[in-house]
Amino acid sequence: MEVFAVGKATGEDFENWKKYIRDNKLTFINVGLTTTLYTAALEDARQFVPKYTTLESLNYHDTYDISATPLIIVLDKDKKIVAKRLTISQLEDMLDRLQEVKDPVKLFPPDPEDEAE
């Protein structure tokens, strides 16, 4: 399993996000779009495409339908979406089932508010 985290922070929040990653020694992939890059891409995205990235990745909000964070999307080995907009509890259930864990201890019990939706 791999974790790919996309940061949506800008300005001081972006710096705090990077500090959090360093301080907590997070080893999974963390990516974000700086304000400078975002502003430059709005002016002319062609300066980055295809040399550094794709238009789809620059516009990841629309490409992956990310309107709020955090958002959990589970991909299969071929990077096809198999689950989207899971709660952390639902993700835990899914991973337990996929790994065939018998009588798993639940670290993240369902939130009654999430269950009501």
- Which residues are CB-contacts of 59 (< 8 A; sequence separation ≥ 6)? none
Do 44 and 69 contact (CB within 8 A), yes or no? Answer: no
Give the pLDDT confidence of 101-114 residue by residue, as tens digits. Answer: 999 998 888 877 76
Run of H or E residues at 84 = strand 81-84
Q: Which two tokens stand for residue 100?
A: 């065939």
Give the pLDDT confidence of 39-70 residue by residue, as tens digits. Answer: 888 888 888 888 888 777 777 777 777 777 77
pTM above 0.85, yes or no: no
Mean residue pLDDT across the chain = 84
- Residue 25 amino acid letter: K
Whether residue 110 has a cis bond before it, omega within 30° of 0? no
